Chains A and B, each alone.
Chain A
Amino acid sequence: MSSNDEPKVIGFLCNWCSYAAADSAGAGRYQYPTGIRIIRVPCSGRVHPFFILSALRRGADAVLTAGCHPGNCHYSTGNLIARRRFAMLKNLLEFTGLEQGRVNLAWMSAADGVTFARVASRVVTQARELGHYQGALRKQSEVPDNG
């Protein structure tokens, strides 16, 4: 499979839990696909719905937002805000026809490398099965091919 066929998944990982979990996965040599590109944020509550919309618009095939387990947010309540916000966003996007599985939310703790590897694999595999995102939000090329 050429690199163009691989799905591009953007992962917004909170610094304290999920990013650390990704580090743990590395340290523990748990394998996860290279298709996931990680962006570290301070908290899952930092993830504005526009990050996700923008990722889809610009060529992501799926997006993962990951944070600490509810109740364990480093900032106490950031992930609880994120959960409500994510519910509204996911429902609205799927209402407009976005396939299920393209926007995802997961919780994990810092040492839980296994969970991160499994979640990342799952999201990338889902994205591969769904195929590249070519839906209504996807911006067609600014540059016309006929030059």
Chain B
Amino acid sequence: MIINKSDIAAFLDSFRDEYRVFAPAVADGVSGYRILTAGSELTWQGLNTQRPPKEVLFPQSERLYSYEIGANGVQISAHYDDRKKVVFGIRPCDARSFHYLDYVFLGQEYQDVYYRKRRENTLLIGMACLEPAKTCFCTSLGGGPFATDGLDLLWVDLGDRYLVQVLTPQGKALVASKPFFSPASEADYRAAAAAEARARAQMLPALDLSRVKPWLDAGFNAPFWERVSEKCIGCAVCTYLCPTCHCFDLSDEAATDRFLAGVRIRTWDTCAFPLFTLHASGHNPRPTGKERFRQRVMHKFCYFVQNWGEAACVGCGRCVVNCPVNLDIREVLAQIAVQDAGAGMGQ
């Protein structure tokens, strides 16, 4: 299908009564997926946002439940968010990240009800990447600038209009319910195909990661880890801005404005901080940056693959662009890919 760019503001406004619309936007100089109150507010020109879209489903700080003790005893209130959402303009790498978060939060045995309620009521309208950055490496991880994983619709910018690829029944229903869409022509499809070829040609060559998992399986004690992350300062930039990182902390807090009330909150946490694995005894199984960086690489490129069959990375490049010391995961993976599998290692 086709939708004209001149109809976009109206299209976004048409969701107003039923859905909250999230779209890439800048607030206070920082880009992220923000709620649009009017279609005309959509001014985003860039590729990816700085803040990752995981926060639409998994906010950085979230109240799980609160309690108040009063005349009626203990009242506990859970705080779910099951309001309908549309995420508009999400890039293919980011859309794919939800797939990885689903593995974690929507498991066979246990489903995170907070995540599930947000996830069930969310439509994803993707925007293909016509000009990937040199820091994009989605193609190294099975993705691509026009990939469709996880999306309900994929839009391709053809200049004065978008080609709309319908991918799911929800996407189909959405297109059918709005008056802005008309059939696409052969020329439109050819233009989109050409745009995809240009986009792929613009990207740096994909990394060959085929040796990474086997090496990691055997390489936990390899001397490689001694030096590779020496410059890491142990902050949370890579993990907080990563679309697939999902670790969190739970804390209970008493209210500061009333008695006998409080809340349990969930906040993003990071394996980069020493406290992440500090035991109450004082022992820390990951005592230095070396162990913690190894954990990051292992979790994403070894353990996640063992558990779910895929590496927990979508190649969005946020960690590469934002790391304060330019610790580049692509460089680390390339180094791992040429490490000897052999002496000096072993479980």
A interface, CB within 8 angstroms of B: 57-59, 139, 141-144, 147
Q: Which residues of A contact B77 (CB under 8 A)?
A: 147
Q: List 21 A-B contacts (CB under 8 A).
A: A57-B256, A58-B256, A59-B256, A139-B256, A141-B255, A141-B256, A141-B257, A141-B258, A142-B63, A142-B253, A142-B256, A142-B257, A142-B261, A142-B262, A143-B66, A143-B68, A143-B255, A143-B262, A144-B66, A147-B66, A147-B77
B79 sits at the interface (CB 8 A): yes
Question: What's the minimum C-beta distance from B15 to chain A, rounded to whole angstroms?
Answer: 24
The smallest C-beta distance from B249 to any residue of chain A, in angstroms, reads 15
Contacts of A142 in B (CB 8 A): 63, 66, 253-257, 261-263, 265
Contacts A142-B263, A143-B263 hold; do A59 and B63 have CB atoms under 8 A apart? no
- Which residues of B are found within 8 Å of A143, using beta-carbon distances? 66, 68, 255, 257-258, 261-263
Q: Are B256 and A144 within 8 A (Cβ)?
A: no
Residue of A with least CB distance to B263: A142
Known A-B contacts: A58-B256, A142-B66, A142-B255. Give 5 more (CB < 8 A). Answer: A59-B257, A141-B258, A142-B254, A142-B261, A144-B66
Minimal beta-carbon separation of B251 from chain A (angstroms): 10
Interface string of B51-79 (1 = CB under 8 A from A): 00000000000010010100000010101
- Would you give the 0/1 interface string for B215-254, flagging 1 where the beta carbon is closer than 8 Å to chain A? 0000000000000000000000000000000000000011
Task: Give the 3 A-B residue pairs with the shortest CB-CB distance, closest first.
Answer: A147-B77, A142-B263, A143-B66
Q: How many inter-chain residue pairs (CB < 8 Å) link A and B?
A: 34
Instruction: Please measure, in the bound complex, the distance between the C-alpha atom of A59 and the C-alpha atom of B259, giving whole angstroms.
Output: 13
* Residue of B63, B75, B257, B265 with highest tally of chain A CB at under 10 A: B257
Chain B residues with CB below 8 A from A141, complex form: 255-258
> What is the distance, in angstroms, from A73's C-beta to the closest C-beta of chain B?
33
The secondary structure that dominates the A interface is loop
Q: Give the distance to chain B from A102, nearest Cβ to Cβ, in Å.
A: 17
B72 to chain A, nearest CB (A): 12
Alpha-carbon distance A143/B65, docked complex (angstroms): 9
Cα of A58 to Cα of B257 in the assembled complex, Å:
7
Residues of A within 8 A of B255 (CB): 141-143
> Shortest beta-carbon distance, A20 to chain B, in Å?
31
Q: How far is the CB of B254 from chain A (nearest CB, A)?
A: 8
A144 with B79: CB separation less than 8 A: yes
Task: Report the separation of the CA atoms of residues A3 and B238 in the bound assembly, to the nearest whole angstrom.
Answer: 48
Q: How far is the CB of B237 from chain A (nearest CB, A)?
A: 24
Whole-angstrom distance between the alpha carbons of A141 and B68 in the complex? 13
Which residues of B have CB within 8 Å of A59?
Answer: 256-257
Whole-angstrom distance between the alpha carbons of A107 and B340 in the complex? 71
Give the residue name and chain of the A residue nearest to B75 (CB): A147
Minimum Cβ distance to chain B for residue A103 (Å): 19
Which residues 293-338 of B sit at the A interface, judged by CB distance below 8 A?
Answer: none
Q: Which residues of B contact A58 (CB under 8 A)?
A: 256
Contact residues in A for B63 (Cβ distance below 8 Å): 142, 144
CA distance A139 to B262 in the complex (A): 13
- Min CB distance, A146 to chain B, in Å? 8
B313 CB → nearest A CB, Å = 35
Question: Closest CB-CB distance, B67 to chain A, in whole Å?
Answer: 8
C-alpha spacing A143/B79, complex, angstroms: 10
Min CB distance B184 to A, Å, is 45
Residue of chain B at shortest CB distance from A58: B256
Chain B residues with CB below 8 A from A139, complex form: 256
CA distance A143 to B265 in the complex (A): 10
Residues from 255 to 286 in B contacting A, C-beta threshold 8 Å: 255-258, 261-263, 265
Query: Closest residue of chain A to B79, judged by CB?
Result: A144
> In the complex the two chains form, what is the Cα distance from A139 to B68 in whole Å?
18
A144 cross-chain contacts in B, Cβ below 8 A: 63, 66, 79
The CA-CA distance from A142 to B61 in the complex, in Å, is 11
Select from chain B the residue with minimum beta-carbon distance to A140: B257
From 78 to 116 in chain B, residues with beta carbon under 8 angstroms from any chain A beta carbon are 79
Residues of A within 8 A of B265 (CB): 142
CA distance A143 to B263 in the complex (A): 6
B116 to chain A, nearest CB (A): 21
Closest to B256 in A: A58
The complex places the Cα of A139 from the Cα of B253 at a distance, in Å, of: 12
Q: How far is the CA of A22 from the CA of B265 in the complex (A)?
A: 41
Alpha-carbon gap, A147 to B66, bound state (A): 7
